[in-house]
Amino acid sequence: MGVNAPKTMDEYMARVPEPARTTLSKVRAIIRSVVPAETTEVISYGIPTFRYKGALVAFAAFKNHCSLFPLGSSALDAMQADFKPYRVAKGTLHFPTDEPMPARLLKKLVKARIAQNEKRSKS
């Protein structure tokens, strides 16, 4: 990463142009609404990442789309039918810069990732 890489999620968000900033702000708020209190927000590989018992989910803005990275593609694979309207690339969900995915879908995916990390941390 370059010298000017963002160091915090807030710093990253401040650099994202509209409409993607508003979209990612909504995504961030939805994720925060379901993750355990001890979940941390970090920048990992240059993008905002939520950590809870390991990497949980990350998101990013690109020129023509936003992406959600479940950081465990098995959760995405298990919910493939739910994500039919979105472009799914390997381990990544693409959605429009001006339209976050529905809150219920995002919450379902994040909860699945939380369960995976909790199960993995117990074994």
Express each pLDDT in 27-50 by its tens digit: 999 999 999 999 999 999 999 999
Amino acid identity, position 9 = M
Question: Please, is 2 exposed, middle or buried when counting C-beta atoms within 10 Å of its C-beta (0-12, 13-18, 19+)?
Answer: exposed
User: For the segment 78-103, what is each residue's pLDDT rounded down to a tens digit?
Assistant: 887 888 778 777 778 899 999 988 99
> Domain total for the chain?
1
| Cα 93 to Cα 85: distance, rounded to the nearest angstrom | 10
Q: Kindly report the number of other CB atoms within 10 A of residue 99's CB atom.
A: 11
Does residue 119 lie in a domain region? Answer: no
Task: State the sign of the Cα–Cα–Cα–Cα dihedral 47, 110, 51, 54.
Answer: negative
Judge whether 55 lies within some domain. yes
Q: What is the pLDDT of residue 3?
A: 64
Domain containing 81 equals 9-114
Residue 63 φ/ψ, nearest 5 degrees: -55, -45
Residue 101, domain CATH: 3.90.1150.200
Residue 121 lies in a domain: no
Q: Is residue 61 part of a domain?
A: yes
Alpha helices, DSSP H only, in 7-123? 9-15, 20-34, 73-78, 103-122
122 in a domain, yes or no? no
User: d(Cα 94, Cα 85) in Å, to the nearest integer?
Assistant: 10
* pLDDT tier for residue 2 given thresholds of 50, 70 and 90: low
User: 27: helix, coil or strand?
Assistant: helix
**Higher pLDDT residue, 98 or 2?**
98
More confident residue, 72 or 120: 120
Q: Please give the pLDDT value at position 84.
A: 79
